Structures are given as structure tokens and as C-alpha cells.
């Protein structure tokens, strides 16, 4: 393991996966969400935090709760295939939880890839589906190269624009190497995901790096509160001079593969983030590719490529060269050693309100339990 994160007991707590899962299921049961759908949601939220993608883990639980409780998202039902042709399929997500739609689509893509070598499935009428990596991970577990994309609510200022009209539109590609190693790219088309700024603000940050966000008029800002208070994100690369137009192009590419291709809402027409006055109608795209259709020895060659890259001489001996997926592996190793998921205390105390609102017990931490108990008492 080349990268290993360390636990800071003065700032962090450890919560078992079982506790987190139980809390998620308890919340979803209170709003009459289908039990099997709730299980799928719990799977992806727990995995997101386990991998260190806190912006899309349990921090997002209240969004799913509000969507179903308000009726903006359906708590029960089944996605339907609208059209199929060879390796492709078009799916109606029936306005269900995004993970339910995404799992259905990627399983279908893998099935088609086994028959045709590739499976390409797009979905309309879906909702926020968590980390894109979850779906590519499923394809990879079946020996496939997996890709996943989704459009999102407009939160991005395209290059030269003073108006938000694009989503952060994430991209993922996961490919299996040997002995459990892999290439695992899971990224927003923006410099950072919106949730990363939320996490930074919750942790008390008063400054964010250049290229992350902009104020309500599209002018770059370093204040996370300004971004979260009506501002927005910058495309990958930030300003035009530093390549932001490339990020704008990636955002638009994902929109074409998702919203445009799926016949769902797209661009500035998608509902605003965390509003429930209308259906989200997100478009999503899932791809599975069987590498055995091409040159033999894919996994071995990929492993050589990964190892060659990691073995490059670093600029700083304390910071080795990484490949996509290494930071997540380091985070998971830390969680495994501690037998639970590590959270900053500031990241989870806000969930006390959700627990109180739904009248369910707050999950218990394995360490610093008194911190959460005190927060609960104060509310």
C-alpha cells in the first residue's frame, strides 16, 4: 500500500459500517421507502464514505429522505426498458432512487457486454445516484471495463459565462488489472464536486483554492460560504487561461451522453439542487466493455502500466506518484484497520437533526461517543 491515511482521534470518530447502514435504513423506513430500494441506497452511501468520497456519502442522506418524503421521488416501483437494439438499451427510471435506476442499468449493460462485447444503456427519469464509481465497480467485478456518467442540477458557470447552465457532470472509468489492483477514475467535470465545498465549509474552512468556485455572477471566489450561498462551481481547470474551457467541454460531453441521449432534462432546464417542486428527471449513461474482445492479456498489460507509473521518480520523496484509485485504497486500508468508517466530527453532527426529525436513534461512534451524545442533548 503506497498511500495510507492516518486517524486523528482529536478530530475524528470511527463508526462501524453496521451502525451507518442501520441508521440509513431506519431513516428510509420512516418515509415508507421500499426496503429493497433502501438497501441499495445504503450500499452506495456506505461505500462512498468507505472510499473517502464524503461529499456523496451519508452527508447526502437528507437529500434522498426529502425527495421521497416530499413525493418528488418515487419510493417504490421498477425501472422499465423502453427500447432495446443489440448492445444498447434505453431505460425509464420511473422517477425512482438513483441507485435503484443505476444498478438496474449497469446490470443490463454487463449482460449485454457478455453477449455483444459491449453494453451501452442510458436512462431517463432518474435521480441523484451517488458516486459514479459504484456502477463502474460492478462492471469491473464482472471482469469488464466499466464507465458511468450522469448529468446534475445546474451549478457550473461555463467558461466566459455569468450564468450557471451546466451540472458538475461526473465521469467514471474503472478497469481491472491483476491481483485486485485496478485503474479507478471517478471525478467531476468541475475542479471539485459541489459536495467537497460543503464538506470544507462544515469542517470550518474559510478559504478554498483557486479554480474551485465562483460568486453569483460567475467571478472566482475563495470563500466557501459565497459559493454555497448562491454562487457555483468552476469547470475543471478554473478560468479560461488555466484550461477551464476543457472542463466546460467535458461537462457538455457528459450532458450529451446523458440528458440529450436519454431524452431527459438537460442543462439549465434541470431542477435546482435540493428543490422538490418537480421531478429531477436526470439522464444517466452506463457502459460495460469486455476487454477479452480485443488483444489478449489486458489485465497484465494494465498492471504493468500502473506499476510503471507508480515507480516514476517523484518530485518529493514523501509524496509518491499515484494512479487513479490509490487515494481511495489508502483510505479504505485505514478504515479496515479501525474496523469502521472515519468521519470528522463536524461532518456527522448535523445528522442528529435528521435523527430527531424522523424520531430514530442516532448511530453510535466507536470512539469519542460522548461528542455525538452531547450534540444530541443540546438539540
Is 370:41 a contact under the CB 8 Å cutoff? no
Residue 361 carries which DSSP code? P
CB neighbour class for 309 (10 Å; exposed up to 12, middle 13-18, buried from 19): middle
Q: What angle do CA 179, 180, 181 make, to 5 degrees?
A: 95
Strand 88-92 with 118-126, pairing: parallel
What was the pLDDT predicted at 372? 44
Strand partners for 350:
none
pTM comes to: 0.92
Residue 50 carries which DSSP code? H
pLDDT tens, residue by residue, 114-160: 999 999 999 999 999 999 999 999 999 999 999 999 999 999 999 99
What was the pLDDT predicted at 48? 97
Long-range contacts of residues 78-81, Cβ cutoff 8 Å, at least 24 apart: 78/104, 79/104, 79/105, 79/123, 81/108
Strand partners for 284:
123, 150
CA distance 213 to 158: 12
Which residues of the chain, if any, have pLDDT below 50? 1-2, 368-379
pLDDT tens, residue by residue, 242-256: 999 999 999 999 999
What was the pLDDT predicted at 12? 87
Q: Write a three-state SS string for 89-125.
A: EEEECCCECHHHHHHHHHHHHHHHHHHHCEEEEEEEE
Would you call 268 helix, strand, or coil by DSSP? helix
Question: Dmax over Cα atoms in the chain, in whole Å?
Answer: 62
Query: Which cell is 260 given?
Result: 440529450
What was the pLDDT predicted at 90? 99
What was the pLDDT predicted at 3? 52
What was the pLDDT predicted at 344? 87
Amino acid at each position: 500500500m503506497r498511500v495510507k491515511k492516518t486517524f486523528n482521534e482529536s478530530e475524528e470518530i470511527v463508526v462501524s459500517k453496521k451502525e451507518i447502514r442501520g441508521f440509513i435504513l431506519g431513516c428510509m423506513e420512516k418515509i415508507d421507502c421500499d426496503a429493497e430500494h433502501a438497501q441499495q441506497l445504503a450500499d452506495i452511501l456506505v461505500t462512498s464514505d468507505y472510499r473517502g468520497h464524503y461529499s456523496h456519502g451519508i452527508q447526502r442522506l437528507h437529500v434522498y429522505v426529502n425527495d421521497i418524503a416530499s413525493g418528488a421521488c418515487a419510493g417504490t416501483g421498477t425501472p422499465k426498458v423502453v427500447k432495446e437494439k443489440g448492445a444498447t438499451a434505453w431505460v425509464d427510471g420511473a422517477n425512482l432512487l438513483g441507485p435503484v435506476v443505476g444498478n438496474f442499468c449497469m446490470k443490463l449493460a454487463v449482460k449485454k457486454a457478455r453477449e455483444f462485447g459491449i453494453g451501452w444503456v442510458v436512462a431517463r427519469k432518474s435521480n441523484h445516484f451517488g458516486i459514479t464509481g459504484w456502477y463502474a465497480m460492478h462492471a469491473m467485478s464482472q471482469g469488464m471495463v466499466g464507465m458511468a456518467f450522469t448529468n446534475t442540477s445546474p451549478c457550473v458557470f461555463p467558461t466566459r459565462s455569468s450564468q450557471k447552465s451546466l451540472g458538475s457532470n461526473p465521469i467514471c472509468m474503472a478497469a481491472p488489472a491483476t491481483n485486485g489492483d485496478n485503474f479507478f477514475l471517478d471525478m467531476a467535470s468541475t475542479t471539485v464536486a459541489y459536495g467537497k465545498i460543503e464538506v470544507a465549509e462544515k469542517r470550518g474552512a474559510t478559504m478554498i483554492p483557486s479554480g474551485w468556485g465562483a460568486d453569483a455572477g460567475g467571478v472566482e471566489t475563495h470563500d466557501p460560504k459565497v459559493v454555497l450561498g448562491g454562487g457555483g462551481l468552476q469547470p475543471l481547470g478554473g478560468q479560461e487561461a488555466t484550461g477551464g474551457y476543457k472542463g466546460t467541454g467535458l461537462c457538455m460531453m457528459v450532458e450529451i451522453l446523458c440528458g440529450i441521449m436519454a431524452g431527459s432534462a438537460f442543462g439549465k432546464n434541470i431542477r435546482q439542487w435540493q428543490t422538490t417542486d418537480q421531478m429531477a428527471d436526470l439522464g444517466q449513461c452506463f457502459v460495460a466493455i469486455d476487454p477479452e474482445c480485443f488483444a489478449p492479456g489486458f489485465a497484465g498489460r494494465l498492471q504493468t502500466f500502473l506499476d510503471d507509473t507508480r515507480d516514476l521518480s517523484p518530485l518529493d520523496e514523501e509524496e509518491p506518484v499515484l494512479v487513479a484509485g490509490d487515494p481511495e485504497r489508502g483510505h479504505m486500508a485505514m478504515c479496515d484497520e479501525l474496523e469502521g468508517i472515519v468521519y470528522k466530527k463536524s461532518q456527522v453532527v448535523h445528522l442528529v437533526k435528521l435523527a430527531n426529525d424522523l424520531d430514530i436513534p442516532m448511530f453510535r461512534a466507536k470512539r469519542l461517543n460522548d461528542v455525538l451524545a452531547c450534540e444530541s442533548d443540546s438539540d
